[in-house]
Amino acid sequence: MRIAAIYARVSSEQQREENTIASQTASLIEYARNHDLEVPAEWVFEDEGFSGSTLERPGLERVRDLAAEGQIQVVLAYSPDRLSRKYAYQILLMEEFARQGVETAFVKAPRGDSAEDQLPVQFQGMIAEYERAQILERSRRGKRHRAHAGEISVMSGAPYGYRYLRKTDEAPAAYIVEDSEARVVQRIYEMYTVEGLSIGEITRRLNAEGIATRNRSARWERSVVWAVLRNPAYRGAACFGKTREAARTRVMRAQRRRGVSASSMTASHQRPREDWIGIPVPALVSDETFARAQELLEENRIRSRRRTITPSVVQGLVSCAKCGYAFSRTSTYTSARKIHYYKCIGSDGWRKLGGPVCDNRQYIRQELLDQVVWTEVIRLLQDPMLIQQELDRRLAAARSADPTKKREQALQRDLTHAGKSIERLLNAYQEGLLSIEHLRERMPMLRQREQRLRAELQAIIDQSNDQATFLRLAETLTAFLARLRRAAETLSIAERQRIVRLVVKEVLIGDDFITIRHSIPIPSGPSQNDGGPSPRENYLLCKGSG
Which tens digits make up the pLDDT trace of 360-397?
A: 888 888 888 888 888 888 777 776 676 667 666 666 66
Q: Are residues 129 and 169 in the same domain?
A: no
Q: Is the pLDDT confidence value at 103 over 70? A: yes
Mean pLDDT computed over 76-89: 83
Residue 546's pLDDT is what?
39
| 232 φ, ψ (degrees, to nearest 5) | -70, -10
Same domain, 186 and 232: yes
- Residue 154 CB contacts under 8 Å (≥ 6 apart), including other chains: 143, 146, 147, 240, 279
115 and 169 inside one domain: no
Instruction: Please report whether residue 375 resides in a domain.
Output: no
For position 536, what pLDDT does the model report? 33
Instruction: Return the higher-pLDDT residue of 211 and 511.
Output: 211
Whole-angstrom distance, CA of residue 249 vs CA of residue 299: 25
Identity of the residue numbered 357: V
CA dihedral (469, 471, 474, 478) in degrees, to 10, reads 140
- Identify the pLDDT of residue 185: 94
Cβ–Cβ < 8 Å for 75, 67: yes
Rg, the chain, Cα only: 31
* pLDDT reading at 297 higher than 70: yes
In a domain, 504, yes or no: no
The answer to whether residues 58 and 133 belong to one domain is yes
pLDDT value of residue 181: 92
pLDDT, position 48? 85
**Among 475, 473, 538, 502, which Cα is nearest to 378's?**
502
Residues in the chain: 546
Can you give the pLDDT at residue 244? Answer: 73
What pLDDT is attached to residue 205?
92
The last residue of one of the domains, among 442, 471, 500, is 471
Is residue 89 a part of any domain in this protein? yes
More confident residue, 484 or 118: 484
Segment of 172-176, 473-477, 524-528 carrying the highest mean pLDDT: 172-176
Query: Within a domain: residue 409?
Result: yes
Lowest-confidence segment of 134-148, 319-333, 387-401, 412-426 by average pLDDT: 387-401
Please report, in angstroms and rounded to a whole number, the separation of the first and last CA atoms in the chain: 78
- On average, the pLDDT of the chain sits at 77
Model's pTM, two decimal places? Answer: 0.43
Nearest to 123 by CA among 89, 82, 87, 93: 87
In the 3-class helix/strand/coil scheme, how is 190-239 assigned residue by residue? Answer: HHHHCCCCCHHHHHHHHHHCCCCCCCCCCCCCHHHHHHHHHCHHHHCEEE
The CATH number of residue 177's host domain is 3.90.1750.20
> Rounded to whole angstroms, how far apart are CA atoms 189 and 191?
6
- CA dihedral over 94, 98, 99, 102, signed as positive or negative: positive
Q: Which of 38-47, 181-190, 215-224 has the lowest mean pLDDT?
A: 215-224
What average pLDDT does this structure show over 44-66? 86
* Beta bridge partners of residue 542, listed in sequence order: 364
- Residue 266: the pLDDT is 54
- CATH code (residue 33): 3.40.50.1390
Residue 325 lies inside a defined structural domain of this protein: no
Does one domain contain both 168 and 135?
A: no
Res 524: pLDDT: 46
In the chain, the number of structural domains is 3
Mean pLDDT computed over 231-252 = 76
Give mean pLDDT, residues 10-31: 75
- Residue 122 makes CB contacts below 8 A (sequence gap 6+) with 87, 424
Quote the CA–CA distance of 44 and 4 in Å, as a whole number. Answer: 9
Structure confidence at residue 479 as a pLDDT band (50, 70, 90): low
Q: At 186, is the pLDDT very low, low, confident or very high (cuts 50, 70, 90)?
A: very high
pLDDT of residue 532: 42
Residue 176 and residue 99 share a domain: no
pLDDT at 534: 37
Amino acid at 489: E
- Asked whether residue 181 falls in the same domain as residue 73, the answer is no
Domain extent at residue 458: 396-471
Chain centre distance of CA 284: 33
Q: Does 115 share its domain with 12?
A: yes
Which tops the pLDDT comparison, 269 or 344? Answer: 344
Please tell me the number of Cα atoms within 13 Å of 431 on its side-chain side: 13
Indicate whether 104 and 6 sit together in one domain.
yes
Q: What's the gap between Cα 191 and its chain centre? A: 34
Q: Residue 229's pLDDT is what? A: 93
> Is the pLDDT reported for residue 184 higher than 80?
yes
Q: Does residue 70 surpass a pLDDT of 60?
A: yes
Lowest mean pLDDT among 100-114, 213-227, 426-440, 464-478: 464-478
**The pLDDT of residue 513:** 83
Where residue 466 falls among pLDDT bands split at 50, 70, 90? Answer: low
Q: What is the pLDDT of residues 108-151, one digit of tens each?
A: 865 555 555 556 566 666 666 666 666 777 787 788 888 888 88
pLDDT for the residue numbered 19: 57
Taking phi first (over 0 means left), then psi (-120 to 50 degrees means alpha), and beta for anything else, what does residue 259 get? left
Q: Are residues 123 and 216 in the same domain?
A: no
Residues 108 and 175 occupy one common structural domain: no
Whole-angstrom Cα distance, residue 35 to residue 3? Answer: 11
